[in-house]
Amino acid sequence: MTVKFKLPDLGEGIHEGEIVEVFAKAGDAVTEGDPLFEVETDKAVTAIPSPHTGMITDVRIAAGDTVHVGDVMIVFEGEAIAEAAAPAAAPVAKKPSPGPGPDDAGEKPPSVQTALRDTHQNYGRRGPVPASPATRRLARELGVDLHAIHPTGPQGLVTAEDVRRHAKSGPAAPEAPLEGEAATVELTPPVVSPDLPDFSQWGPVAVEPLRSVRKATARQMALAWSQIPHVANQGEVDVTALEALRKRHAPRVKDEGGRLTLTVFAAKAAVAALKRFPHFNASLDMAGERIIFKNYYHVGVAVDSPRGLIVPVLRDVDRKSIRELAVEFQALVTRAREGKTSLDELQGGTFTITNAGAVGGGHFSPIINFPQVAIMGLGRASLKPVVRLNADGAPEIVPRLIMPLVLSFDHRIADGADAIRMMQTMVATLEDPEAMVLNF
C-alpha cells in the first residue's frame, strides 16, 4: 500500500519551515523512527522521524525548499500505519473564543492580537517534540504529554516505549499557563507595506526569497519596533582589570571546553543589575494593565551564525559560576553556528545581551527582544586616554581599555533615571572583577 507522509504539525504556532538536509532517498528501506530529514522552523532545526516501516518510493523535497504543514514530503510503499498520511502533534488546548460579532461574517485573516499571542507563546519553555505519528497517537490515548518524556531514540526522538514507560510511572503535574497567556492584547493594526516599483526598469536585479532565520527575524523585529517605545542609554566601562583577569583564566576554561569572553562576564553583571532593578527583568501586559516580574534570570546572547542572528538562552545565570557559563555559552554558540539549536534553547529569555565588539562594532542601539523590555549592546573594547587622579591627587592621562555599552529599554515600564542607575550598576560590577567573583 502507498502511504504519503506529510509534514506534521510541529506545534507552537509553526506552520512552515525550510528543509536543511534530506537523509532519505528513493529506494531506501526505513524503520519507524529513522530520521528522514531536518527542517528549520523559527530558527530551530528539528529532525523529522519516519512514521512508517517500509520502502521509500519517492522523495519530493530537497535542501533549501520551503515547506508547509500538510505538504507531502515522502511516499512509502509497504504496510500502512493508521494516521501516517495525516500526522498530527498532540492537541494544544485552545481558549474559547467569543461569539461572532456583527462584522465577523466570512473568514478573516489572522488578527494582530492572534499574531502577538502566537509570538508570545513561542517564548514559552516548550518546543516541538520529535516523535512519529504512531507515537503521538499512543501518547494521546494514554494521556501523556510528550514534553514531559525523556527521549531514548536517535536525535532526541521519543519512542513508543518511552511513552509506555512514562505512562506507567504516573501522570505528570499539569503545567502552569504561560505568563500573560490569558490576556487579550490590544494593538494598533500594522501599517500595510505599499507595493514596490519594478526596479528592473532601471537596471539588473537579483531576487532572493525571504526564508528561515531572516524571515523569523524580520517578523520579530517589526513586532518589537512597532509595539515598544525604545529609548537608549549609552555608557562606557573600563575593562582593563577585567581583561587581565580574563586572559589569566582563559586557558583553564578552554581546557574544560569553554571560552571565557567579556560577554559571559557581562551576563553576570547584568544579573547583578537586574536584581537591583527588577523592572528590566519583566514583561508588560498592556491589556491586563500589569507588569509581570520574573523571579528567574535567563539571559539571551545574540550569536552571529551563517544562517543569521540566533539568540540562544543561558538559563539561571544567577545560579552558575562564570566558568560554568563559559562552558555552556561555548556549547550554545557551536550549536547555533552549526544550525543545531533546538527551539527550547531559544525560548524563555528575560534579558538579552548582544556583542558587536567581535566584528569591530562600537556604540549601537539594539532592538529589544519582545516580550522582554530591555537589551544591552556591547561594543569593541579599545585603548583610550583616560584622565585619572594619581596617588598624590593630581590628574594624569593613562591608557585604559574602554568598552562602550548601550542599554535599550521600554520607556513604558522604566524611566531614564532607572536606566542610568541600571547602567551604573553594570559598570561598577564590570570594573571591579574581584568584587564580581566575591558576589557570585
Supply the residues annotated as catalytic: 411
Distances from the Cα of 362 to the Cα of 229, 236, 381, 425, 428, angstroms = 23, 11, 8, 21, 20
Distance between start and end Cα atoms, the chain? 63
* Contact call for residues 314 and 331 (beta carbons, < 8 A): no
CB atoms within 10 A of CB 383: 10
Place of cell 512519529: 132
Three-class HEC string of the chain: CEEEEECCCCCCCCCEEEEEEECCCCCCEECCCCEEEEEEECCEEEEEECCCCEEEEEECCCCCCEEECCCEEEEEECCCCCCCCCCCCCCCCCCCCCCCCCCCCCCCCCCHHHHHHHHHHCCCCCCCCCECHHHHHHHHHHCCCHHHCCCCCHHHCECHHHHHHHHHCCCCCCCCCCCCCCCCCCCCCCCCCCCCCCHHHCCCCCCCCCCHHHHHHHHHHHHHHHHCCEEEEEEEEECHHHHHHHHHHHHHHHHCCCCCCHHHHHHHHHHHHHHHCHHHHEEEECCCCEEEECCCCCEEECEEECCEEECCEECCHHHCCHHHHHHHHHHHHHHHHCCCCCHHHHCCCCEEEEECHHHCCCCCCCCCCCCCCEEEEECCCEEEEEEEECCCCCEEEEEEEEEEEEEEEECCCCCHHHHHHHHHHHHHHHHCHHHHHHHC
* Contact call for residues 143 and 91 (beta carbons, < 8 A): no
Report the distance separating Cα 158 and Cα 136, nearest Å.
Answer: 9
Q: Tell which residue, 139, 155, 197, 141, has the closest CA to residue 48.
A: 155
